[in-house]
Structure 1
C-alpha cells in the first residue's frame, strides 16, 4: 500500500469514527441535562475546566515528541530507543501529573471554597465539591498514562487502533454514566465524575493490552536505555510544542473558568453542557476539510505551486462558508426548539449563547482551515501567534464582560476573538499565497442566507409541533438557499470540478 493510499485510508477511518463519536458525545450531554440537577452539571464542568487548564503543564509537550521520534527510531531499526522513549515519557508525564494531582488534593478545600463555590451555590455542601475535585484529579492522573499509550500507538502510525480511541472513550463514558444513573440510582455530580475517572482506567487496560500484544510485541524483549541525550531531544522538541498548544487550551477553557468565578455554576451548565456542544457540531466539517487540506497544502507548497494552492484555498474557504452559513443560521433561529427537544426548559437560558456562538462557528470553521494551511506551508509559528492573540483577547474581555453579561458576555468575547483571528490569518495567507478574498460571492451568500429566512418564518408560524417546525422549516430553508446560491452562481458546480481537477493535476 502506497503512502498516499495509507493516508487516505487513515483519514477516512478517523473521520468515520469521529462522526460516529459525535452523536454519542452529544447524547452524554443530553443524559446529564435530563438526569442530573443543573447546578451539579455546572459543578462537574467547572471542575473539569479547572483540571484541563492545570493539565497544560502535565504534558510537557512530550506526547508530541513521542509521535515525532517513534517513526524515526523505527526507520533506524532502533526498537530499543522506541521502548526507552516510551518509558521515559511515561515516567516523566505520570510523575508531573502525580505532583499536580497531590497538590489539587491538598488544596481541594481551598479551591472548593474560594473558586468553585465563589458564588456560594454549594455553601453547606462543600464536601461534594471537594469529592469531585479529588476524584476527577485522580482520573486525570490515569489519563496521563493513557495519553502515553495513545500517542505511542499514533507514533507507530497504526490508524486502525488509534482512530478508535476517542470513540471508545466517549462510549465508555456513556455506558458508565447510564450504569451509575439507572442501576446505582445516582443523580448528582458524582455520575460524570466517576464516569470520566473510570473511563481512562478501563482504556489503559484495553489499549495497553493491544499495544503490547498487537503493535509492539517485542516491548518486553527490547532493552531499556537511560539516555540523557534522548531525554534532552524529547524536551527540545516537546517544550515548544507545549507552549504552542497552551494558547489553544486557554482559548478553549477560559470561558468556563471565568463563568465559574464570576457568575456561578448554573451559567457553566448552560454554556458548557448545552451551548458549546450544540454549536460545536458545525466544526466537524472543518475537521474533515483539514484532514485532506493539510497534506495537500504541504505538497503543493514544497513543489512551488503557490498559485494553485492560493486558488484552491480561495475556493475551499468560499465553499466552506457557503456550506456552514445556512446551518449556523438555522441553529441561531431554532435554539429554543433544540433545547426543548433534546434537553429541558431549565436550559432555555442558554438560548442567547447558542444564537451568538452559532454564528461564531462560521469563523471557527474558517480559522481551522486557515491554520491548517499555515501549518501545511511550514508556518506553524504564525498559527501559534494568532492563537495566543485570541487567547489573551478572550481572557481580558471575559474578565470585563462576564461579570455584567454572564454567558452572553462569554459568547460575544469568543465570537469576536474568532473573528479577529480570522482577519489575522487571512492577512498572513494573502502574503504567502497570492490569496484574494472573493468578496462579491461572500456578500451574495450572506444575502441569500438572510432572505431564505422569509419563507422559513412564514411556514413555521403555521406549525405548532416543534419537531415538524425543525424538519419542515429546515427543508424549506435549505431548498430556497440552494436555489439562490446556484441561481446567482455563488457556487458553480463546474467550477468545483475544475478546482478539484486543477489541484489533482499537480503531481
Structure 2
C-alpha cells in the first residue's frame, strides 16, 4: 500500500511539474500573442483555434477517454488499441473536416464575426493531427506512464509556441503566422507520439489489428464520457463565443486572458485528477478508492484557496506586467472567476473518481445541466454587465456544479462532508513527513556538494 501511495504521489508531482511548465509556456504564448498581435487579432486567434478544438470535442465520441479506462484495465492488446485508434481517428477527423466546412460556409458570419474566412479554412488542416494526438497520447495515460504522457503535453505546447514565435516575431506574418504555427505544432506532436509508441514501447502496427469488440466497448463507455466531456468543454469555452457574439473580438481577447490566467490555479487539481482516473480504475477495493479521493479532495481545496488568495493579491501587477495596461480589465474579470475556480478544482477530483469507477453517466447528466445553466446565465448577464457578466455566470456555474458533485460523491462513497472538505489530523502528519523528507534530501545534497 505504501509503495502504491508513493507512486501516486510521485506521478502527481511529475504531472504537477508538467502543469507548472505548461503555465510558463502558456504565459509566454499569451505574451507573444498579446504583444505582437494586440487585443483584436489575439481575440481572433482565440476564436479561430477554438474551431478545431470544438470539432474534436463534438466528434471524438469519447475514444480518448475510454482508451485510458481500458488500457489501465489491461483488457486489450496495446497493438490492437493503437491500430484501432489510428484508423478511427483518421475516419472521425475526416468527418470533423466536413463538419468544419459546413460551419464555415453557413455560420461563419454569426460565430466568427470580423474573422477572415481564409483563416478558418487554414486551421482545418490541424484537425486530423489533433484527433490522432488525443487518441494516441492517452495510451501513455492509461499505462500510467506519466513521464512520457506529460513530456508529450509539454512538447505540444512548446512546439506551438516555437512555431508561432517564428512566424509572427521573426518572419512577421502576423495573425496568419500564428494560425500556421498552431497547425505545425500539432503536426509535430503526432510524429513524436508515434516515435515513442513504436520505439520506446516497441509496438508494431503490423502485429495489431482493427478490433470491433474493443471499438464497441470503447464507444459504449466513451460515449457517456464523451457527452460529459463535451458539456464540460462547452461549459469552459462556449462563453468565449457568447462574448464574441454580444461584444467584440477585443473583449474576447481580454476575457480569454483572464480565463487562461485563472485556470492556472487548477494545475494541482488537474495534475492529481489526471493520475487519479487510471488509479481508481485499477484499484480493487472500494475502501481504498474512498480513502484516496477523500484525502485528495480536501487537500486540493486547501491548496486552491491559498493559491486564489495569492493570485488575488498580485493579479493587477501580473496582468499589467505580462500583457500590458490595455488588458488591465482582465484583472477585474479574473477576480470574479477565481472564486468559481476554487470549486472547479475540487469538482474535477470527484468527476475523475466517478469516471474511474465506471460510472461516466453520472458526470454526463451533471455536465449537461451545467452547460444549459451556464449558457442561460451568459445570455442573461452579458448584455447587462458586459464581460463581467460572463465572469459571474462562470463562477455561479462552477459553484453549483461543485455542490451537485459533492452530494453525489457523498452518497457513492459514504464519506462524511468533513472528510471530503476539511483537513484532518492525518494530513498534518503527511505534511510533516513530506517536509522532513525534503529537508533530508536537501541535507544530503549539501553534504555531497561539500564533499566534492
Residue 235 of structure 2 is aligned with which of 251, 255, 265?
A: 251
Deviation at 1:343, TM superposition (A): 0.7
Bigger Cα displacement from structure 2, 130-139 vs 237-246: 237-246
Cα deviation, 1:455-500, whole Å, max 9, x if unaligned, reads xxxxxxxxxxxxxxxxxxxxxxxxxxxxxxxxxxx97878621799
Cα 1:50/1:499, change in 2 over 3 Å: same
- Following superposition of structure 1 onto structure 2, how do residues 57-456 of structure 1 map, counting pairs within 5 Å? 57-70=58-71, 78=77, 82-105=78-101, 107-117=103-113, 122=114, 129-187=116-174, 189-220=175-206, 222=207, 224=209, 226-272=210-256, 274-290=257-273, 302-304=285-287, 309=291, 313=294, 317-375=297-355, 379-437=359-417
- Mark the CA change 1:246 to 1:302 in structure 2 (over 3 Å): closer, same or farther: same
| Structure 1 portions without partners, runs of 5+ | 443-489, 502-507
Deviation at 1:289, TM superposition (A): 4.3
1:88-143 CA distance string (max 9 Å, x none): 332233222223213423653543323211xxxx3xxx6xx212211112112221
Q: Per the alignment, do residues 370 and 159 of structure 1 end up closer, same or farther by CA in structure 2, a change over 3 Å counting?
A: closer
Q: Distance in 2 between matches of 1:230 and 1:430?
A: 33
- 1:202 to partner: Cα distance: 1.2
Give 1 or 2 for the bigger CA radius of gyration. Answer: 1
Whole-angstrom CA distance in 1 between matches of 2:367 and 2:244: 23
Shift of 1:294: 5.8
CA distance 1:296–1:227, change in 2 (3 Å): closer
TM-score normalised by L of structure 1: 0.75
Q: Does 1:496 align with 2:428?
A: yes
User: Is the 2:89–2:128 Cα contact (8 Å) retained in structure 1?
Assistant: no
Contact (CA 8 Å) 1:70, 1:152: kept in 2 or not? Answer: yes
Could you say if the C-alpha distance between residues 138 and 319 of structure 1 is closer, same or farther in structure 2, counting changes exceeding 3 Å?
same
Give the direction of change, closer, same or farther, for the CA distance of 1:377–1:63 in structure 2 (3 Å limit). Answer: closer
Alignment partner, residue 439 of structure 2: none
Helix, strand or coil at the partner of 1:281? helix
Give ranges in structure 2 of 5+ residues lacking alignment. Answer: 434-452
Contact 2:159 / 2:186 at 8 angstroms: preserved in 1? no
| Residues 164 and 181, structure 2, Cα contact 8 Å, conserved in 1 | yes
SS of alignment partner, residue 254 of structure 1: helix
**1:153 CA displacement:** 3.8
Cα deviation, residue 23, structure 1:
1.0
Structure 1 residues 66, 99: closer, same or farther in 2, change over 3 A?
same
The Cα shift of 1:193 comes to 1.1
Higher percent of residues as helix: 2
**Pairwise CA RMSD:** 3.4
Q: Alpha carbons of 1:58 and 1:90: their partners in 2 closer, same or farther (altered >3 Å)?
A: farther
Q: Secondary structure at the match of 1:216?
A: coil
Contact 1:333–1:355 under 8 Å retained in 2: no
Determine if contact 1:328/1:358 at 8 Å carries over to the other structure.
yes
